[in-house]
Amino acid sequence: MNALSKLGQLRSSPRVARSVAHANIALVKYWGKRPGALPDLNLPAVGSLSMTLGELRTETEVGPSDAGDQFVLDGETITGPARSRSIQHLDRVWRAFGAPESRPRPTLYIRSRNHVPTAAGLASSASGFAALTLAASAALTTCFDGLSAPREVYGPLSALARRGSGSAARSLWGGFVRLDRGTHDDGSDCRARPLFARDHWDLELLVVHTAKGKKPVGSTDGMNRSRETSPYYAPWVDHSEADLDAAEAALGRRDLAALGDIVEHSCFKMHACMLATRPPILYWNGTTLEVIRALWEARARGLEGYATSDAGPHVKVLCRAETATALSESLAAVPGVLGIDRVAPGPDATVEVEL
């Protein structure tokens, strides 16, 4: 019996459950899957550490459907691989709560809304799969009593969310969160935990948009290619745990210079590993680099901010709230910048059930 089936009994008829989960940005990055693990477990090769984002969030409702499984995102019925990925996740939730193979899952609808500011192009799989995991679990089991989810289920639910998307494991909590790599083959100890609440430190993230549209290489595919072909992949994995410990300690003592140093180092190591993949994976554009240069110049003038970027060309800048306006103005002047969003640390994910 796994941790979830101990906590909840399956319900004979699903209820309607609504959840909200916020996106997150990794300050110490996850890039790579554990070799030899079942793809369905989606086990990362490295841990990661993130800040949950206040403004970016996904709201999801899951409930019984007489018309078969359905997935509607921002008012549009979704088909193809994006639908299959979400419906498959409903099956995982059902099995995780101990449903025997002989008992089919009740058919469900998923209705989600993404709240993503301005130019989009930011990962929504983290908030999306965290919200889906919470709402589906609450719809299908007895362990949610209405207005809130019991705290003891968040840990096991984080491991379940990870199977939908690695970064989703971190979106169950607000503030600053660490996803442990874990060692168990079944992934039960590969789950996130909250480190510091959102009010721990007055930090902000400036999301500097440098392009519109979708990323050219999906993260899952890119990670597998890096593991198979990048000569920098092994050192990337080897140094990750030390970066995580150092970042956690710097966060704890509110040392921005030390944290920022690790944030940039982790980001550039990940992108170096991507660039050394065959064929190379290059997510940046010219504006990405100009923004980073402008940020370093601003820092030399005393405006302290640190860059990170993910599987896309946007730059995210970690800074103190008091510096955010001046930094934002100076980066908005870089040619090619489409817009800048200021984001504060966000809250825990929540769920409620219609009784």
Binding residues for ligand DP6 (CB under 6 A): 26, 29-31, 42, 48, 123, 125, 165-167, 219-220, 310-311
Q: How far is the CB of 132 from ligand DP6 (least distance, A)?
A: 13
CA 112 to CA 163: how far, in whole Å?
19
Measured from the CB atom, is 30 or 154 closer to ligand DP6?
30
Cis peptide before 194 (omega within 30 of 0): no
CA 126 to CA 346: how far, in whole Å?
13
Measured from the CB atom, is 165 or 323 closer to ligand DP6?
165
CA 37 to CA 30: how far, in whole Å?
16
Measured from the CB atom, is 14 or 166 closer to ligand DP6?
166
Question: If we measure between CA atoms, which residue out of 105, 7, 18 comes closest to residue 57?
Answer: 18
Measured from the CB atom, is 19 or 165 closer to ligand DP6?
165
Question: If we measure between CA atoms, which residue out of 111, 123, 149 comes closest to residue 56?
Answer: 123
67, β-bridge pairs: none
Taking the alpha carbons at both ends of the chain, their separation in whole angstroms is 27
In a 10 Å sphere around its CB, with 0-12 CB exposed, 13-18 middle and 19+ buried, how is residue 240 labelled?
A: buried
Q: How far is the CB of 167 from ligand DP6 (least distance, A)?
A: 3
Q: How far is the CB of 346 from ligand DP6 (least distance, A)?
A: 15
Q: How far is the CB of 63 from ligand DP6 (least distance, A)?
A: 25
Q: Is 205 helix (H, G, I), strand (E, B) or coil?
A: strand
Measured from the CB atom, is 147 or 272 closer to ligand DP6?
272
64, β-bridge pairs: 108
Q: How far is the CB of 208 from ligand DP6 (least distance, A)?
A: 16
Q: How far is the CB of 219 from ligand DP6 (least distance, A)?
A: 4
Measured from the CB atom, is 28 or 340 closer to ligand DP6?
28
**H/E element, 318:** strand 315-320
